[in-house]
Structure 1
């Protein structure tokens, strides 16, 4: 199964996605980590974004043949990008949206994070360009004290989704 964890910068998606991958014994693929590997000096240009998502799509193709689980961690804020992943995953994809209240996001984005350079200005830019996902998916609120509840809800969602296929 391919699980796309998406949301705005500072929403808590990376923290959640990494723990979800551990819990379901899946490989964790982070757009922020890939960007740092691919580009020592990052500009967040369209070229960089395309290279990161292309690398993620290649990873998806590799694991499709192996029938392994993957958890992707990226903003996935454009419909066109999500559609590429849906098509490559051959209906074996699930989406989990992580969101947080703005004061929580502002506080998180003030802290230093090892892989992401996004600040609140980047958050606002992506929010302006956000294209909502219009297919069924799980939407989780991230607070600073509810990771266990988020993981529990995700596990229930994935279990129910697996049964329906």
Structure 2
């Protein structure tokens, strides 16, 4: 059983990637944007709102663990303490992997101009989260998103997960 945390700044392409990854590996999929929409009619991206969203995602991860289901979690995960919460919950229960999706800022700017079904994040929200971002310093897979490389991203991820799972099985 594995939990995969797909993270990155707004507009990086993480949701597009994470939803396809979940299908590819037959895993559940939880999007912070969808959770936020379910919990709040109007998003203001406040600290309390973010905390509620991550708490709900943590509950959904706990359910997946109990049911021994693979799960892909999709959110910015831009704070160390938030990531730590999920890592702590997984201790001794299965494998947790972090995959960071990045994109050039000009691509992000264009993507954030377009309406998206669950996210209200615009370029100002992107800049705000970028300023608050606490990079993940542990080794993890970093993917660069363009507008036409989803197949390559999924292939790299498949190889990465196979190698990581094989290594963990041999430990």
Q: TM-score, normalised on structure 2?
A: 0.95
- What corresponds to 1:5 in structure 2? 6
Where does 1:13-28 land on structure 2 (aligned, <5 Å)? 13-28=14-29
Deviations 1:69-97 (A, max 9, x none): 00000000000000000111126210000
- What corresponds to 1:137 in structure 2? 140
Q: 2:155 aligns with which of 137, 152, 155?
A: 152
Question: Partners of 1:44 and 1:127 in 2: how far apart?
Answer: 14
In structure 2, runs of 5+ residues without a counterpart are none
Question: Partners of 1:65 and 1:163 in 2: how far apart?
Answer: 23
Where does 1:80-99 land on structure 2 (aligned, <5 Å)? 80-90=81-91, 92-99=95-102
CA shift, 1:63, in A, is: 1.4
Q: 1:123 aligns with which of 100, 121, 126?
A: 126
Deviations 1:89-108 (A, max 9, x none): 12621000000001100000
CA shift, 1:12, in A, is: 0.2
Displaced runs of 4+ in structure 1, greater than 3 A? none
Aligned residues: 165
Where does 1:27-66 land on structure 2 (aligned, <5 Å)? 27-66=28-67
In structure 1, runs of 5+ residues without a counterpart are none
Root mean square deviation, CA, Å: 0.8
